[in-house]
Amino acid sequence: MTTTNERSREFSTVSVETQLVPRQRRFHVPVALVLKVLSVLAFLALWSAATEFGWVSPIFLPSPASVASQAGKLMSTGDLWASVLASSRRVFLGFALAGAVAVPLGIVMGVWWPAKAIVDPFISLLRPLPSITWIPLSILWLGIGESQKTAIVFMGSWIYILLYTLESTKRVDPILIRAARNLGASDLAIMREVILPGALPGILAGLKVTMAISWSCVISAEMVAAQNGLGALIWFAKDWGNLPLVLVGMVGISLTVLVADALAERIEWLLLPWERHRRG
Protein backbone atom coordinates (compact mmCIF):
# COMPACT_ATOMS: atom_id res chain seq x y z
CA MET A 1 0.00 0.00 0.00
CA THR A 2 2.78 2.40 0.98
CA THR A 3 4.67 1.57 -2.19
CA THR A 4 1.64 2.38 -4.28
CA ASN A 5 1.27 5.73 -2.57
CA GLU A 6 4.92 6.53 -2.98
CA ARG A 7 4.76 5.53 -6.60
CA SER A 8 1.79 7.74 -7.32
CA ARG A 9 3.53 10.66 -5.62
CA GLU A 10 6.61 9.98 -7.65
CA PHE A 11 4.62 10.06 -10.87
CA SER A 12 2.52 13.06 -9.92
CA THR A 13 4.39 15.17 -12.46
CA VAL A 14 3.06 12.92 -15.20
CA SER A 15 -0.15 14.20 -16.77
CA VAL A 16 -3.32 13.60 -14.83
CA GLU A 17 -4.96 11.47 -17.52
CA THR A 18 -2.23 8.90 -17.73
CA GLN A 19 -2.48 8.40 -13.99
CA LEU A 20 -6.22 8.32 -13.65
CA VAL A 21 -6.94 5.76 -16.31
CA PRO A 22 -4.93 2.84 -14.94
CA ARG A 23 -6.01 3.71 -11.41
CA GLN A 24 -9.68 3.50 -12.19
CA ARG A 25 -9.11 0.24 -13.97
CA ARG A 26 -7.17 -1.20 -11.07
CA PHE A 27 -10.05 -0.59 -8.68
CA HIS A 28 -12.88 -1.22 -11.10
CA VAL A 29 -12.98 -5.01 -10.89
CA PRO A 30 -12.69 -5.47 -7.12
CA VAL A 31 -15.37 -2.85 -6.42
CA ALA A 32 -17.75 -4.60 -8.79
CA LEU A 33 -16.93 -7.91 -7.17
CA VAL A 34 -17.52 -6.54 -3.68
CA LEU A 35 -20.88 -5.16 -4.82
CA LYS A 36 -21.84 -8.52 -6.25
CA VAL A 37 -20.95 -10.34 -3.03
CA LEU A 38 -22.75 -7.74 -0.91
CA SER A 39 -25.84 -7.97 -3.09
CA VAL A 40 -25.99 -11.76 -2.66
CA LEU A 41 -25.38 -11.51 1.10
CA ALA A 42 -28.07 -8.88 1.47
CA PHE A 43 -30.51 -11.08 -0.39
CA LEU A 44 -29.67 -14.08 1.82
CA ALA A 45 -30.03 -11.89 4.94
CA LEU A 46 -33.42 -10.66 3.82
CA TRP A 47 -34.51 -14.21 3.06
CA SER A 48 -33.29 -15.42 6.47
CA ALA A 49 -35.04 -12.56 8.22
CA ALA A 50 -38.26 -13.23 6.35
CA THR A 51 -38.33 -16.86 7.49
CA GLU A 52 -36.79 -16.24 10.92
CA PHE A 53 -39.24 -13.53 12.00
CA GLY A 54 -42.20 -15.33 10.50
CA TRP A 55 -42.94 -12.74 7.77
CA VAL A 56 -43.49 -15.68 5.45
CA SER A 57 -44.81 -19.09 6.42
CA PRO A 58 -42.25 -21.93 6.01
CA ILE A 59 -44.91 -23.76 4.00
CA PHE A 60 -44.38 -21.24 1.25
CA LEU A 61 -40.71 -20.46 1.70
CA PRO A 62 -38.17 -22.56 3.60
CA SER A 63 -35.25 -20.85 5.32
CA PRO A 64 -31.83 -20.66 3.61
CA ALA A 65 -30.43 -22.78 6.42
CA SER A 66 -32.89 -25.61 5.76
CA VAL A 67 -32.11 -25.47 2.04
CA ALA A 68 -28.38 -25.59 2.80
CA SER A 69 -28.76 -28.56 5.15
CA GLN A 70 -30.92 -30.36 2.55
CA ALA A 71 -28.22 -29.71 -0.06
CA GLY A 72 -25.57 -31.03 2.32
CA LYS A 73 -27.57 -34.23 2.89
CA LEU A 74 -28.10 -34.73 -0.81
CA MET A 75 -24.44 -34.19 -1.60
CA SER A 76 -23.24 -36.62 1.06
CA THR A 77 -25.50 -39.38 -0.27
CA GLY A 78 -24.32 -38.65 -3.79
CA ASP A 79 -27.91 -38.20 -5.02
CA LEU A 80 -27.29 -34.63 -6.13
CA TRP A 81 -24.32 -35.60 -8.28
CA ALA A 82 -26.28 -38.47 -9.80
CA SER A 83 -29.08 -36.07 -10.77
CA VAL A 84 -26.68 -33.50 -12.20
CA LEU A 85 -24.91 -36.21 -14.15
CA ALA A 86 -28.14 -37.73 -15.51
CA SER A 87 -29.42 -34.35 -16.75
CA SER A 88 -26.02 -33.31 -18.11
CA ARG A 89 -25.73 -36.49 -20.13
CA ARG A 90 -29.12 -35.93 -21.73
CA VAL A 91 -28.31 -32.31 -22.53
CA PHE A 92 -24.94 -33.22 -23.93
CA LEU A 93 -26.30 -35.96 -26.19
CA GLY A 94 -29.27 -33.98 -27.48
CA PHE A 95 -27.24 -30.82 -27.91
CA ALA A 96 -24.35 -32.55 -29.68
CA LEU A 97 -26.77 -34.28 -32.03
CA ALA A 98 -28.55 -30.98 -32.74
CA GLY A 99 -25.21 -29.28 -33.44
CA ALA A 100 -24.04 -32.11 -35.67
CA VAL A 101 -27.18 -31.76 -37.79
CA ALA A 102 -27.85 -28.03 -37.64
CA VAL A 103 -24.37 -26.51 -38.08
CA PRO A 104 -23.58 -28.22 -41.41
CA LEU A 105 -27.16 -27.72 -42.62
CA GLY A 106 -27.07 -24.04 -41.67
CA ILE A 107 -23.80 -23.49 -43.54
CA VAL A 108 -25.13 -25.20 -46.66
CA MET A 109 -28.31 -23.11 -46.45
CA GLY A 110 -26.20 -19.98 -46.05
CA VAL A 111 -24.15 -20.53 -49.20
CA TRP A 112 -26.64 -22.36 -51.43
CA TRP A 113 -30.08 -20.82 -51.73
CA PRO A 114 -32.00 -23.93 -52.93
CA ALA A 115 -31.15 -25.66 -49.65
CA LYS A 116 -32.56 -22.70 -47.78
CA ALA A 117 -35.72 -22.74 -49.87
CA ILE A 118 -36.22 -26.46 -49.19
CA VAL A 119 -35.74 -26.27 -45.43
CA ASP A 120 -37.34 -22.86 -44.78
CA PRO A 121 -40.99 -24.02 -44.62
CA PHE A 122 -40.17 -26.61 -41.96
CA ILE A 123 -38.35 -24.05 -39.89
CA SER A 124 -41.33 -21.72 -40.09
CA LEU A 125 -43.69 -24.46 -38.93
CA LEU A 126 -41.48 -26.00 -36.25
CA ARG A 127 -40.01 -22.88 -34.72
CA PRO A 128 -43.16 -21.68 -32.89
CA LEU A 129 -43.53 -25.06 -31.17
CA PRO A 130 -42.13 -25.14 -27.62
CA SER A 131 -40.09 -28.29 -27.05
CA ILE A 132 -42.61 -29.58 -24.48
CA THR A 133 -45.23 -29.93 -27.20
CA TRP A 134 -43.11 -32.79 -28.51
CA ILE A 135 -43.43 -34.70 -25.24
CA PRO A 136 -46.63 -36.65 -26.08
CA LEU A 137 -45.40 -37.74 -29.51
CA SER A 138 -41.91 -38.51 -28.30
CA ILE A 139 -43.26 -40.71 -25.48
CA LEU A 140 -45.47 -42.55 -27.96
CA TRP A 141 -42.58 -43.10 -30.34
CA LEU A 142 -39.66 -43.57 -27.99
CA GLY A 143 -41.11 -44.49 -24.59
CA ILE A 144 -39.89 -42.71 -21.51
CA GLY A 145 -36.25 -43.76 -21.67
CA GLU A 146 -33.09 -41.84 -22.42
CA SER A 147 -33.71 -41.52 -26.14
CA GLN A 148 -36.97 -39.66 -25.46
CA LYS A 149 -35.19 -37.05 -23.28
CA THR A 150 -32.46 -36.71 -25.87
CA ALA A 151 -35.10 -36.22 -28.55
CA ILE A 152 -36.77 -33.44 -26.57
CA VAL A 153 -33.44 -31.64 -26.16
CA PHE A 154 -32.74 -32.15 -29.85
CA MET A 155 -36.12 -30.81 -30.96
CA GLY A 156 -35.80 -27.80 -28.70
CA SER A 157 -32.28 -26.94 -29.83
CA TRP A 158 -31.60 -27.68 -33.45
CA ILE A 159 -33.63 -24.88 -34.99
CA TYR A 160 -31.87 -22.22 -32.93
CA ILE A 161 -28.46 -23.60 -33.81
CA LEU A 162 -29.54 -23.69 -37.45
CA LEU A 163 -30.76 -20.10 -37.45
CA TYR A 164 -27.63 -18.78 -35.77
CA THR A 165 -25.42 -20.72 -38.18
CA LEU A 166 -27.39 -19.58 -41.21
CA GLU A 167 -27.27 -15.96 -40.11
CA SER A 168 -23.53 -16.06 -39.29
CA THR A 169 -22.75 -17.69 -42.63
CA LYS A 170 -24.68 -15.08 -44.55
CA ARG A 171 -23.09 -12.26 -42.59
CA VAL A 172 -19.53 -13.07 -43.63
CA ASP A 173 -18.28 -9.83 -45.16
CA PRO A 174 -18.61 -10.12 -48.97
CA ILE A 175 -15.55 -7.89 -49.34
CA LEU A 176 -13.47 -10.66 -47.74
CA ILE A 177 -14.83 -13.21 -50.21
CA ARG A 178 -14.04 -10.81 -53.02
CA ALA A 179 -10.54 -10.22 -51.67
CA ALA A 180 -9.94 -13.98 -51.40
CA ARG A 181 -11.06 -14.55 -54.97
CA ASN A 182 -8.85 -11.69 -56.09
CA LEU A 183 -5.96 -13.52 -54.41
CA GLY A 184 -6.77 -16.63 -56.44
CA ALA A 185 -8.96 -18.64 -54.05
CA SER A 186 -11.16 -21.42 -55.46
CA ASP A 187 -14.73 -22.07 -54.22
CA LEU A 188 -13.47 -24.75 -51.86
CA ALA A 189 -10.74 -22.46 -50.52
CA ILE A 190 -13.31 -19.69 -50.00
CA MET A 191 -15.39 -22.09 -47.91
CA ARG A 192 -12.44 -23.33 -45.84
CA GLU A 193 -10.44 -20.12 -45.51
CA VAL A 194 -13.13 -17.44 -45.42
CA ILE A 195 -16.69 -18.60 -44.79
CA LEU A 196 -16.02 -21.15 -42.04
CA PRO A 197 -13.68 -19.00 -39.93
CA GLY A 198 -15.80 -15.93 -40.67
CA ALA A 199 -18.96 -17.60 -39.43
CA LEU A 200 -17.34 -19.38 -36.48
CA PRO A 201 -17.73 -16.62 -33.86
CA GLY A 202 -21.45 -16.32 -34.62
CA ILE A 203 -21.93 -20.08 -34.64
CA LEU A 204 -20.25 -20.43 -31.27
CA ALA A 205 -22.31 -17.59 -29.84
CA GLY A 206 -25.42 -19.38 -31.08
CA LEU A 207 -24.31 -22.65 -29.52
CA LYS A 208 -23.77 -20.92 -26.20
CA VAL A 209 -27.24 -19.37 -26.20
CA THR A 210 -28.80 -22.63 -27.33
CA MET A 211 -27.11 -24.62 -24.60
CA ALA A 212 -29.15 -22.75 -21.99
CA ILE A 213 -32.28 -23.56 -24.02
CA SER A 214 -31.24 -27.24 -24.12
CA TRP A 215 -31.13 -27.18 -20.33
CA SER A 216 -34.63 -25.84 -20.03
CA CYS A 217 -35.77 -28.58 -22.45
CA VAL A 218 -34.26 -31.38 -20.41
CA ILE A 219 -35.73 -30.07 -17.17
CA SER A 220 -39.24 -29.91 -18.59
CA ALA A 221 -38.87 -33.38 -20.10
CA GLU A 222 -37.70 -34.75 -16.76
CA MET A 223 -40.57 -33.12 -14.92
CA VAL A 224 -43.10 -34.86 -17.13
CA ALA A 225 -41.65 -38.34 -17.23
CA ALA A 226 -38.34 -39.39 -15.72
CA GLN A 227 -36.94 -41.44 -12.87
CA ASN A 228 -33.85 -39.31 -12.31
CA GLY A 229 -32.25 -35.98 -13.22
CA LEU A 230 -32.65 -32.52 -11.74
CA GLY A 231 -36.10 -31.97 -13.23
CA ALA A 232 -37.37 -35.25 -11.76
CA LEU A 233 -35.76 -34.36 -8.43
CA ILE A 234 -37.74 -31.13 -8.24
CA TRP A 235 -40.96 -32.82 -9.29
CA PHE A 236 -40.65 -35.64 -6.74
CA ALA A 237 -39.71 -33.17 -4.02
CA LYS A 238 -42.90 -31.25 -4.74
CA ASP A 239 -44.94 -34.47 -4.44
CA TRP A 240 -43.28 -35.25 -1.13
CA GLY A 241 -43.94 -31.72 0.10
CA ASN A 242 -40.19 -31.23 0.57
CA LEU A 243 -39.86 -27.55 -0.32
CA PRO A 244 -36.18 -27.22 0.64
CA LEU A 245 -35.43 -30.04 -1.81
CA VAL A 246 -37.30 -28.20 -4.58
CA LEU A 247 -35.06 -25.18 -3.99
CA VAL A 248 -31.93 -27.35 -3.90
CA GLY A 249 -32.91 -28.71 -7.29
CA MET A 250 -33.46 -25.22 -8.68
CA VAL A 251 -30.15 -23.91 -7.38
CA GLY A 252 -28.54 -27.09 -8.70
CA ILE A 253 -29.82 -26.34 -12.20
CA SER A 254 -28.56 -22.75 -12.05
CA LEU A 255 -25.11 -23.75 -10.88
CA THR A 256 -24.77 -26.59 -13.39
CA VAL A 257 -25.70 -24.30 -16.28
CA LEU A 258 -23.23 -21.70 -14.97
CA VAL A 259 -20.45 -24.29 -14.98
CA ALA A 260 -21.43 -25.42 -18.48
CA ASP A 261 -21.37 -21.76 -19.60
CA ALA A 262 -17.90 -21.25 -18.17
CA LEU A 263 -16.74 -24.35 -20.02
CA ALA A 264 -18.27 -23.08 -23.26
CA GLU A 265 -16.58 -19.72 -22.71
CA ARG A 266 -13.25 -21.48 -22.35
CA ILE A 267 -13.77 -23.51 -25.54
CA GLU A 268 -14.67 -20.32 -27.37
CA TRP A 269 -11.48 -18.68 -26.11
CA LEU A 270 -9.45 -21.60 -27.43
CA LEU A 271 -11.14 -21.64 -30.82
CA LEU A 272 -11.07 -17.89 -31.51
CA PRO A 273 -7.50 -16.74 -30.87
CA TRP A 274 -8.05 -13.63 -32.99
CA GLU A 275 -10.76 -12.35 -30.67
CA ARG A 276 -8.84 -12.86 -27.44
CA HIS A 277 -7.40 -9.39 -27.04
CA ARG A 278 -10.85 -7.88 -27.53
CA ARG A 279 -12.37 -10.05 -24.84
CA GLY A 280 -9.48 -9.33 -22.51
Q: Kindly tell me which residue out of 9, 25, 278, 279 binds another protein, with binding defined by CB under 8 A.
A: 278
> Cα dihedral sign for 24, 30, 35, 36?
positive
Q: By CB under 8 A, which span of 130-138, 162-170, 171-179, 253-261 interacts with another protein?
A: 171-179
Closest CA to 203 of 236, 174, 171: 171
Is residue 197 part of the contact set for another protein (CB under 8 A)?
yes
Nearer to another protein, 9 or 279 (CB): 279
Is residue 183 part of the contact set for another protein (CB under 8 A)?
yes
Q: Which residues contact 63 (CB under 8 A, 6 or more apart)?
A: 47, 48, 51, 52
Is residue 191 part of the contact set for another protein (CB under 8 A)?
no
Q: Kindly tell me which residue out of 30, 121, 273, 280 binds another protein, with binding defined by CB under 8 A.
A: 273
Contact by Cβ (8 Å): 257, 217:
no
Q: Kindly tell me which residue out of 124, 175, 270, 279 binds another protein, with binding defined by CB under 8 A.
A: 175
Residue 56 DSSP SS3: coil
Number of residues that bind another protein (CB under 8 A): 23
Q: Kindly tell me which residue out of 74, 103, 162, 200 binds another protein, with binding defined by CB under 8 A.
A: 200
Is residue 180 part of the contact set for another protein (CB under 8 A)?
yes
Ranges within 10-39 binding another protein (CB under 8 A): none
Nearer to another protein, 115 or 196 (CB): 196
Q: Kindly tell me which residue out of 55, 178, 258, 259 binds another protein, with binding defined by CB under 8 A.
A: 178
Is residue 189 part of the contact set for another protein (CB under 8 A)?
yes
Nearer to another protein, 30 or 273 (CB): 273
Q: Across the chain, how many H-helices and E-strands are there? A: 13, 0
Residue 239: is it exposed, middle or buried by C-beta count within 10 angstroms (0-12/13-18/19+)? exposed
Residue 102: is it exposed, middle or buried by C-beta count within 10 angstroms (0-12/13-18/19+)? buried
Is residue 187 part of the contact set for another protein (CB under 8 A)?
no
- Report the C-alpha gap between 236 and 18 in whole angstroms: 60
Is residue 194 part of the contact set for another protein (CB under 8 A)?
yes
Is residue 199 part of the contact set for another protein (CB under 8 A)?
no
Contact by Cβ (8 Å): 219, 87:
yes
Q: By CB under 8 A, which span of 50-58, 127-135, 191-199, 236-244 interacts with another protein?
A: 191-199
Alpha carbon 232 to chain centroid distance?
21
Residue 171: CB minimum distance to another protein, A = 13
Is residue 184 part of the contact set for another protein (CB under 8 A)?
yes
DSSP letters, 155-184, are HHHHHHHHHHHHHHHHTS-HHHHHHHHHTT
Which residues sit at the interface with another protein, rule CB under 8 A?
A: 173, 175-176, 178-186, 189, 193-194, 197-198, 200, 272-274, 277-278
